[in-house]
Structure 1
């Protein structure tokens, strides 16, 4: 017999007019865990203790701005009519690809400013970002968003999901594909894989951990995006995230092959700070 569970309240703490949402708590937790792991890895490779924290102070806020702008641009018909809503991020509307692009540019700027090796920084960050993405998707779960099309309860039961996930996917009497979960698990698996590969001496050259991240995430996101019902579209014919995923996937593979052929003596990631480039 199924036990009916109530939908999870998106508000975690309410003190008078002040409300703290689970989404914000989960995102903050994801970022803290990611920064902590990246900091430990950076120290292991000989970077200064505060490097990752200093970088995060720039990359995270810039990433959020990028995530919002990306979303707004693809919803421009609405926001041009409601310009005051552009900054109303508390009403929802951010896109992870926008955050990754803007955050990546912030890391590039930080590396140039500190005269650090960009590829090494990206390699350190890549697994931590994947783990943060995996955790962060549970914020979508709480908000009952980033889901796929309608399915039957029986279908969800065949996935051997816990009852609380099945019931949270019941939105106004209709069950939906838990695409948040698919992406969370894909990102978690990618995190484990990148950590294993990164720790193999003489396997991945500098920059290839980051390229592995791009290949892995974009490949999974392409298919998961095709199941979602809240996609941003390009001209009502192409899902923006699928197009970008395909471009990133192909570009990362081409760049990997080019770097291997053009720079066969590039240092391995395991060499840390031995080489500057």
Structure 2
């Protein structure tokens, strides 16, 4: 169809390389670079972030795949070997975050790094990478919402190439990928601004702020999507998890704030220690 983007970026030795992969990898590389720069400012090493990726990236991929497979088991029960074929789709962001989070906790213990500090360093970069990654969904013609009209898409001043690509299966669709991308980028900017305010956030609250921000937006955006995973056939898994994370994040902030020993997130740690 005229105006539709090609999901394939290029071919390499006869293998199709999809825009989805190019965009996801670009988001990861940017996240690693930003996190490594922030790590130095809190007394960590750049290598800590890079070394963690050797743990975190495989764990995130496995987590994303397992999360999807668990809730779509009926599609794999008769032929489990298909679980290995991720090129056919089937990765869930929440599963990736869970897998990567578990790896981060184990890695932090092995390096004697506070996991809260590591999470604070990574959180803004992760939500930015998520915002970038949603454009991979755009290139794949997925993660869209219910039917709408071209006039509506034009009324919210979307570029023509987005509008054209939202014509899927003969109907225009809500660009939920875009809504989440914008929400995530806004979240990145908010977290960066709050992180820069001295003695404003306690250790761990950059990460918890990410949890609260992302889950709040994801709850409403997920309600518009047409490709949600369900539990019991009626409850959207990502909406349920978003609710748990939203209220859990707020409760943790309140509880941890009552701890007088809890330190403020310090971006000047390396400077103070270098003067000793």
Q: State the TM-score, normalizing by the size of structure 1.
A: 0.95
* C-alpha distance in structure 2 between counterparts of 1:104 and 1:171, whole Å: 35
Runs of 4+ with deviation above 3 angstroms: 271-275
2:262 counterpart residue number = 266
Q: Is 2:176 the partner of 1:179?
A: yes
Name which of 41, 55, 58 aligns with 2:55: 58
Name which of 22, 27, 30 aligns with 2:24: 27
For residue 110 of structure 1, report the CA deviation from its aligned partner. 0.2
Q: Is 2:15 the partner of 1:18?
A: yes
Q: Is 2:221 the partner of 1:224?
A: yes
Q: Aligned pair count?
A: 271
Contact kept in structure 2, 1:199 and 1:270, CA below 8 Å: no
For residue 44 of structure 1, report the CA deviation from its aligned partner. 1.8
Contact kept in structure 1, 2:123 and 2:207, CA below 8 Å: yes
Q: Is 2:239 the partner of 1:242?
A: yes
* C-alpha distance in structure 1 between counterparts of 2:74 and 2:137, whole Å: 25
Q: Secondary structure, in 3 states, of the residue corresponding to 1:120?
A: helix
Name which of 75, 81, 91 aligns with 1:94: 91
Name which of 66, 77, 84 aligns with 1:69: 66
Contact kept in structure 2, 1:67 and 1:95, CA below 8 Å: yes
* 1:30-45 equivalences in 2 (<5 Å): 30-45=27-42
For residue 46 of structure 1, report the CA deviation from its aligned partner. 2.2
Which 5+ residue runs of structure 2 have no aligned equivalent? none
Q: Secondary structure, in 3 states, of the residue corresponding to 2:228?
A: coil
* C-alpha distance in structure 1 between counterparts of 2:244 and 2:208, whole Å: 13
Q: Is 2:144 the partner of 1:147?
A: yes
* C-alpha distance in structure 2 between counterparts of 1:207 and 1:16, whole Å: 46
Contact kept in structure 1, 2:41 and 2:267, CA below 8 Å: no
* C-alpha distance in structure 2 between counterparts of 1:267 and 1:179, whole Å: 38
Answer with 153-162 or 40-49: which moved more.
Answer: 40-49
Which 5+ residue runs of structure 1 have no aligned equivalent? none
Q: Secondary structure, in 3 states, of the residue corresponding to 2:84?
A: coil
Q: Secondary structure, in 3 states, of the residue corresponding to 2:172?
A: strand
Deviations 1:129-156 (A, max 9, x none): 0000000000000001000000011111
For residue 172 of structure 1, report the CA deviation from its aligned partner. 2.8
* C-alpha distance in structure 1 between counterparts of 2:125 and 2:51, whole Å: 16
Q: Is 2:134 the partner of 1:137?
A: yes
Q: State the TM-score, normalizing by the size of structure 2.
A: 0.95
* C-alpha distance in structure 1 between counterparts of 2:20 and 2:85, whole Å: 16
